Structure 1
Amino acid sequence: MEGGPEMIKRVKGALIGVAYGDAFGMPAEMWPPEKIREKFGKIEKFLPGHPENSISAGLKRGEVTDDTINTILVIEMLAENQGRVDAKLFIQKLKKWIKESSKSQAVVGPSTAKAIELLEKGVPMEETGKMGVTNGAAMKILPIGLKAGITDGGIEEERLIKEVVKLCMPTHYTSPAISAAVAIAAGGAIAVHGERNIGNIYEYMKKMAEKGRHYGNSTGEPSITARMEMGKYFADNFSVAEALKNIYNYIGTGISSTESIPAAAALFYLAKGNPLLCAEYAANIGGDTDTIGAMACGISGAYSSDGSFGQDIISMLESVNEISFDALTDLLMQ
């Protein structure tokens, strides 16, 4: 196992962060901020899914969604394939979860659902993801970034990108989805590797997003990098409240890769890597609150490490979702 005790704590922090942000944002998923204020006031703690929310209704306080579940499936796939991506193995695991989970139908995204449908019809994996532009690739990609960051040497950027592209192929083989996924993976990689300057992490994510956009099917979508620049401008030049409003209105927080990934990056930057604050921003901003929370808090957790979360929070997330962050950390670092 590479990496010392501090790196292990950062990996664990990242995995807790994914689940924390996911569960924190779950109740308000896909609601606009006005409706969130009307129904919740302000989300400042874990809440159960709202009965009027067609996606979160029936989910328990602290329960995660497909963002965390897919992240765990990626960890299992990496562990079973010597730390490398095997897209076929991942799809097998995803199909099994979809078949066995009662909540999968409510939370599986449109790009993934369409790709699975095409795969079932016998369409080759090289073709099934060519129209997938949603955030379903980036939401689960953090383990690949963490794996790249826990090396004792430098981050192998080309290998990181190639591993992201391989995982994106069956469901999200498009330029915006790959660019977005590379940005999130890169944020996790450099944060877990030990970079302490938030601005440097953000610039690295931008640089890697630009590299990632040269892969996959071009779909004429806006630039992830340009929207990340816009998000940083809002964070640097406005109050928190105004910055959040501007991110929602001008970048967007919907399921598109070109919206939710630049939004998540901006929230990580705005919260200065504090995963608890970041989750609050994500839960109340509106749109795809759980996925934005999972991505932004995952990177924040890698930056701030597992000590950012109280043991009561960790225990509750583990109990409600029947997971072990220690076990997942060991699996990823083996």
Structure 2
Amino acid sequence: MPGDPVLTDRATASLLGLAIGDALGMPTQSMSRAQIVADHGRITDFADAGPHQRIAHGMTAGSITDDTEQAILLARMLVDGGGRIDPREFADRLVEWERGMQAKGSLDLLGPSTKAAVTRILEGVPVAEAGSGGTTNGAAMRIAPVGIATPCDNLDALVDAVVEASMVTHNTGLGIAGASAIAAAVSAGIDGAGVGEALDIATAAARLGSARGSWAAGGDIAARLGWARSWLVRLPADERLEAIAEVVGTSVASQESVVAALALVAIEQDPWVTLGDAASLGGDTDTIGAMAGAVLGAIHGTLAWPGAAVDTVARVNGLDLPPLVDGLLAIRRGRVTRASAGGQTVPVRPS
């Protein structure tokens, strides 16, 4: 496993997919489908923020948003901490990140759940309580590094890792279930699972995650994902995107956007086309694209992404992913070794 080029390729592709999906959705985030069509048509490549883009106003084609930036922040903390996350330090780093964004005049700041939780922590509220209202997709959008660093043969252990990385801002069953689904799908892809198996594992992880944290009202993510997968395949192909936008939903709510992202993965189109579709859906397009891209990259590897797109997103944002990938996979190797010593490793079947 050390230096395994296949695992390195899939892990790299997962982080690249997250960044590419995020950047494709940057100019359309929080816009309606009708407004996206009026400003851009269907998204087929990176684009500058248009005249009606309020959050990312003035950003240039290929620019990432908070989704990728917070995922990289989390990845660095995992690597520096040997796989562990200190919640208070995470809160401090999120505050520092937001202040940097404000200094640049950006409106791309902390999401509603993350902002509320971080504020409560700085006011002295215990970490375990601060995120008790976080039900949005902020934990899921940045969780891919946990999936890269954590094998999915033991889903309870994977969900434990998700909780540690999420509780500071999203310590609810909905927030943790959504993040668990994305992390598990990424982890399964790293180990060679195809789309169907990765989504099965994601559903099982979401079911486990829903029992963690504080209860919050909302549709069960595992149940909604199972329903969406079975329903979409019965629809004509040209009706599926509208169904995801209008029925599954594309808001910041985890039970909408996480399910929408994994439903796009389930359709099994060309990954690049899928991320263009994510950017064209309306709603939280950058986050849906980031989550779908992270999963698709893990499953398909770097060949999923056009070389020009990889070059653009790396150049525009100054991404340096190899050290993070190496560090995250070193953590994964350590966890697999410990599980093997206990006789608990159950490899995912290669696709």
| CA distance, structure 2, for counterparts of residue 321 and residue 270 of structure 1 | 30
Residue equivalent to 2:95: 95
Give yes or no for the alignment of 1:243 onto 2:245: no
SS in 2 for 1:137: helix
Which letter does structure 1 place at the counterpart of 2:133? M
1:271-310 superposed matches below 5 A: 271-272=268-269, 274-310=270-306
> In the alignment, which residue of structure 1 is the partner of 2:334?
none
Cα offset, 1:3, TM superposition = 5.7
Q: Secondary structure at the match of 2:137?
A: coil
Aligned-residue identity in percent: 34
For residues 298 and 242 of structure 2, what CA distance do their matches in structure 1 show? 26
Which stretch shows the higher mean deviation, 198-207 or 181-190? 198-207
The 1-side partners of 2:54 and 2:61 are apart by: 16
Amino acid corresponding to residue 123 of structure 2 in structure 1: K
- In the aligned structure 2, how far is the partner of 1:156 from the partner of 1:82? 19
Residue 28 (structure 2) aligns with: 28
Q: 1:159 maps to which residue?
A: 157
* TM norm structure 2: 0.89
- Cα deviation, residue 333, structure 1: 2.3
Instruction: Tell me: CA distance 1:103–1:82, structure 2 relative to 1, closer, same or farther (3 Å).
Output: farther
Pairing of 1:1-334 with structure 2 (within 5 A): 2=2, 4-101=4-101, 102=104, 105-149=107-151, 155-196=153-194, 198-272=195-269, 274-334=270-330
1:80-115 CA-to-partner distances (Å, cap 9, x unmatched) read 111223222322221221112236643421011111
**How many residue pairs end up in the alignment?**
328
Of 305-314 and 199-208, the range deviating more from structure 2: 305-314
What one-letter code is carried by the residue in structure 2 that aligns with 1:33?
A: R
How far the C-alpha of 1:45 sits from its partner, in A, is: 0.6
Whichever residue aligns with residue 170 of structure 1, its letter is V
Aligned to 2:333: none
Q: CA RMSD in A?
A: 1.6
Preserved CA contact (<8 Å) 1:19 1:64:
yes
Residue pair 2:7, 2:190 contacting (<8 A) in 1 also? yes
Partners of 2:312 and 2:37 in 1: how far apart? 26
Q: How many angstroms apart in 2 are the aligned matches of 1:162 and 1:27? A: 35
Tell me: CA distance 1:89–1:2, structure 2 relative to 1, closer, same or farther (3 Å): farther
Q: How much has 1:35 moved relative to structure 2?
A: 1.4
Q: Give 5+ residue unaligned stretches, structure 2.
A: 331-351
> Deviation digits for residues 134-168 of structure 1, max 9, x if unmatched?
0000000111111113xxxx623221111111122
**Aligned partners of 2:115 and 2:16: how far apart in 1?**
27
